[in-house]
Each structure stands twice: as C-alpha cells, then as structure tokens.
C-alpha cells in the first residue's frame, strides 16, 4: 500500500532560477495527496536550498535528493521514481508550469482497469525575439496539432517532460535507460517500452502545461538538435530500424540538409545560428523560418550521421 496517490518527480541541474515555476504551481494543486521529489543532478547553483525554502513553507510534502556530481537525467529520474511512495509517478521537468488540476488529472487517468501511460504536451513560452517570431511560435503550435492528430498507436513518440506511469509499471520496465547521457530520447525510449508492454498511451489535452523552454535562440535549438540526433542512435541500436527508420532527406531540400550537415559542428552551428537571429527580422518571415528549419534539421541529421560531434552530456 502506498502512502500517497501520486508523486511528482522533478529532475534538475542548474535549475535554481526556474524551480519556482513547477513548485509554485504545485502549491496550488486541487489534489493535495501527493509528494514532490526534486533530484539535483549535481547541485551547481543552490537548487537544494531552493527546495529547502519550499519545504519550510509547509505547503508541499517535498524532499530533495542531491547527487554529488552530474550523473545524467536518466539516473536522476530513476532515483526520484525509486524513492517515491505513491501509486502514480509523474515526471515534471524543472521548467514546466502545470495547471492547478495537473496532479488530479494524472491520477484520474490511471483509475481504469487497464495499465496506462499518460502524456501531457507542453506549450512553449518564449522571450519576444527574432527566433520566436520566425520559428518558435509556429513550430510549437504545429508540433502540438500534429501530435493530437497522430495515430494513437504512435503516441509513445511523444513521451516527454510531462508524463506519468504507475509505480508497478515503472519497476516492471526497470526504469529509464541510464545509457542516455546526451540530450533527450530517454523519454521516447520509456514511451516505447510502455507501448511494448501493452500499456494504453493516453495523450491528454487537459494536461498541456506551460514550458519555459531553454532553447530560445536558433543556435541553442540547433545544438540541442545535434545532441538529440546523436542520442537517437542509441534508441535505434536498441530497438531497430523497423521501429524508427533512419532519415534520408530527398530532393532539393534534402540535398541542402545533407550539405549543411557535413559542416555542422557545435562551433559552426553556434556561429550560423547567431547570424540567422541577427537578420531574421529583416527578411520575409517564410525565408527566416526556412533558414532556421534548415539549420535545425541539418544539425539533427549531423547528430545521426556524426554522433561524435555532440560532446555535451545532460
């Protein structure tokens, strides 16, 4: 028998300045029977002290797990999930700002007889800059519209920073794969394992949450695409190309993507991204959007073809 209906697990690294987004929102939840576990993946900025301040406020059942040094997002997620004493385990990244019914809806969607995995998409919040105007707002809305229109059998692709599963399912699957140390894909991997295990994956519009996104420039978005492309290689190695085919962009656009990818190193991506942001507002909006799209897609392709170019771990 678990102590709480739900546990909210928040992995963080360098998140002291943004933890207030999820923690303030969690203080306002309609459901009160839940715990919060913040896992500091190496406390480099006083994040544990932020958690202590919220604990002293006495509103949340909150605790911190602090790693002495960076061990990766998957290991942080596993530590939080393993420490939870709750039936429903909710992942909530440190830059999300969920609605007041966030915990209640996650819990409700796990009340049926069938084992489920629950996903809420995120609604990115951008600073008002050239990247957001030319690319961010448009792509964010398009992604969500495409996701809601997708075949339910493919919902596992969208497992993300706002998702939940039961404690029993987490332990059955063995948790997040700790080999994912680059940016992303530990979440998609979990979604696919849930799908393989026969769980019903629910994409719930009512759980859509604000996301105070870190990638707010063309350079930062494209560098993350490079890292994500490299991390994708582990997913394909693990599950095969029958599950996820390797991209092979064709036509004039594909030739451009492949050409730019050959030059896409972290240094060159940063230079190109900063240059695009400087001129984006001076160009026709569609041209600016295409330039940013080209750099992002080429960077992702470079990560797939040349994974050693992605050097940062998360």
- In this prediction, residue 310 has a pLDDT band, given cuts at 50, 70 and 90, of confident
Q: Which residues contact 121 (CB under 8 A, 6 or more apart)?
A: 143, 144, 147, 148, 158, 160, 162, 203, 205, 207, 208
pLDDT digits (tens, 9 = 90+) for 140-187: 999 999 999 999 999 999 999 999 999 999 999 999 999 998 789 999
Q: How far is it between the farthest Cα atoms of the chain?
A: 61
Task: Tell me phi and psi for residue 158, to 5 degrees.
Answer: -100, 5
Bridge-based pairing of strands 86-92 and 209-211 is unpaired
Mean pLDDT to the nearest integer, 178-206: 95
Residue 215 clears pLDDT 70, i.e. is over it: yes
3-state DSSP helix/strand/coil percent for the chain, to nearest 5? 50, 15, 35
Under 8 Å between Cβ of 40 and 72: no
Under 8 Å between Cβ of 191 and 162: no
Encoded tokens for 284: 């026709």
pLDDT digits (tens, 9 = 90+) for 280-295: 999 999 999 999 999 9
pLDDT digits (tens, 9 = 90+) for 24-70: 999 999 999 999 999 999 999 999 999 999 999 999 999 999 999 99
Q: What is the pTM of this model?
A: 0.95
Spans of all domains in the chain: 4-211, 218-309
- In this prediction, residue 216 has a pLDDT band, given cuts at 50, 70 and 90, of very high
User: What span, in angstroms and rounded, lies between the C-alpha atoms of 71 and 73?
Assistant: 7
pLDDT digits (tens, 9 = 90+) for 94-129: 999 999 999 999 999 999 889 999 999 999 999 999
Under 8 Å between Cβ of 16 and 46: yes
* % of the chain beyond a pLDDT of 90: 96
* pLDDT number for residue 112: 86
pLDDT digits (tens, 9 = 90+) for 221-253: 999 999 999 999 999 999 999 999 989 999 999
Residue 313 clears pLDDT 60, i.e. is over it: no
Under 8 Å between Cβ of 164 and 116: no
User: Could you give the 3-state DSSP secondary structure of residue 164?
Assistant: strand
Q: Which residues contact 59 (CB under 8 A, 6 or more apart)?
A: 27
The CB density around residue 241, as the number of other CB atoms within 10 Å, is 9
CATH superfamily of 4-211: Spore Coat Polysaccharide Biosynthesis Protein SpsA; Chain A (3.90.550.10)
* pLDDT number for residue 311: 73
């Amino acid at each position: 028998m678990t102590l709480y209906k739900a546990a909210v697990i928040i992995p963080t690294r360098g998140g002291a300045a943004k933890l207030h987004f999820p923690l303030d929102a969690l203080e306002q939840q309609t459901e009160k029977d839940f715990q919060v576990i913040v896992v500091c993946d190496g406390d480099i900025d006083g994040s544990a002290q932020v958690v202590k301040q919220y604990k002293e406020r006495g509103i949340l059942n909150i605790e911190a797990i602090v790693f002495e040094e960076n061990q990766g997002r998957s290991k942080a997620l596993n530590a939080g999930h393993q420490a939870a004493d709750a039936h429903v385990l909710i992942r909530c990244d440190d830059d999300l700002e969920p609605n007041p019914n966030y915990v209640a809806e996650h819990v409700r969607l796990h009340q049926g007889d069938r084992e489920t995995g629950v996903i809420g998409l995120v609604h990115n919040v951008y600073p008002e800059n050239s990247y957001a105007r030319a690319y961010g707002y448009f792509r964010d809305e398009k992604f969500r519209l495409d996701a809601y229109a997708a075949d339910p059998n493919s919902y596992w692709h969208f497992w993300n920073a706002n998702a939940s599963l039961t404690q029993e399912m987490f332990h059955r699957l063995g948790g997040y794969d700790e080999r994912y140390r680059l940016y992303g894909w530990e979440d998609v991997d979990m979604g696919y394992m849930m799908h393989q295990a026969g769980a019903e994956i629910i994409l719930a519009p009512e759980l859509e949450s604000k996301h105070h996104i870190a990638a707010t420039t063309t350079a930062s978005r494209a560098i993350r695409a490079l890292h994500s492309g490299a991390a994708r290689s582990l997913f394909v190695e693990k599950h095969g190309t029958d599950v996820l085919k390797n991209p092979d962009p064709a036509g004039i656009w594909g030739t451009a993507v492949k050409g730019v990818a050959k030059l896409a190193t972290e240094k060159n991506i940063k230079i190109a991204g900063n240059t695009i942001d400087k001129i984006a507002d001076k160009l026709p909006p569609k041209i600016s959007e295409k330039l940013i799209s080209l750099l992002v897609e080429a960077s992702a392709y470079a990560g797939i073809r040349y994974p050693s170019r992605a050097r940062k771990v998360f």
